[in-house]
Amino acid sequence: MKYIYEMHQMMLKHNIILVYEGEFTQEITKSVLAMAERNMDSMGEEFGIKRKVFNVMVECLQNIVKHGEEYISGEIQINTAIFMIGKHKDSYIITSGNPVRDDLVNSLKEKLDQINSLDRDGLKALYKDIIKGSSGLTDKGGAGLGFVDMARKSGRKLEYEFESLGNGHSFFSLKTTVSRS
């Protein structure tokens, strides 16, 4: 039972205000968004900041629902992901993690690196380009538009990491920071 206390301490240390780990569906996504909104309302957060944070959360959660993959660990089929939001003095940190197929890792890295290389005007141009051309659509309907929108709303680089899970999958972690100023 000590792990519960340790988890609580870790959440306090990192100012985590909401965490969900498990299967993600549209209904669960709606519930997570509603809880996060209530948390921000109870803290008296400004409307403009709430809107930016909410937009980034929606994009993160949609990525998990649309692009999360099941994978086999031992003899267990796993279809879970994680979503967290933390509040710091000057920012909100939105973090998500989910399994992806290894064959998608390089294209995800390329998209994220391209997005991270652009300034505000470059992001705006890329956003318009994607909307106009719909080029690069994946079989699940994604074109990286959500990542571009997250970078635009946050005004910061998207931090990411891939950890090999074996069996042809990696765990994709994504962190977005939204300034409170």
Q: What is the pLDDT of residues 26-41, one digit of tens each?
A: 899 999 999 999 999 9
Q: Rounded to an integer, what distance in angstroms lies between the CA atom of residue 144 and that of residue 118?
A: 14
Contacts of 3 (CB under 8 A, 6+ apart): none
> Residue 181: which pLDDT band, with cuts at 50, 70 and 90?
confident
Topology classification of domain 2-179: Heat Shock Protein 90 (3.30.565)
For residue 135, pLDDT over 70 is answered with no
Q: Rounded to an integer, what distance in angstroms lies between the CA atom of residue 65 and that of residue 43?
A: 28
Mean residue pLDDT across the chain: 88
- Residue that has been written with the tokens 């400004």 in this structure: 46
Q: Rounded to an integer, what distance in angstroms lies between the CA atom of residue 28 and that of residue 23?
A: 8
Q: What's the pLDDT score for residue 25?
A: 85
Beta partners for residue 95, in sequence order: 84, 175
Q: What's the pLDDT score for residue 136?
A: 53
Tens of pLDDT, residue by residue over 153-177, are 999 999 999 999 888 889 999 999 9
> Residue 71: which pLDDT band, with cuts at 50, 70 and 90?
low
Q: What's the pLDDT score for residue 9?
A: 94
For residue 137, pLDDT over 80 is answered with no
Kindly list the domain boundaries of the chain, sorted by start residue.
2-179
Alpha helices in the chain (DSSP H): 2-13, 26-42, 47-67, 102-116, 120-133, 145-154
3-state SS, 117-141, equals CCCHHHHHHHHHHHHHHCCCCCCCC
Q: What length is written for the chain?
A: 181
3-state secondary structure of 180: coil
pTM: 0.87
> Residue 145: which pLDDT band, with cuts at 50, 70 and 90?
confident
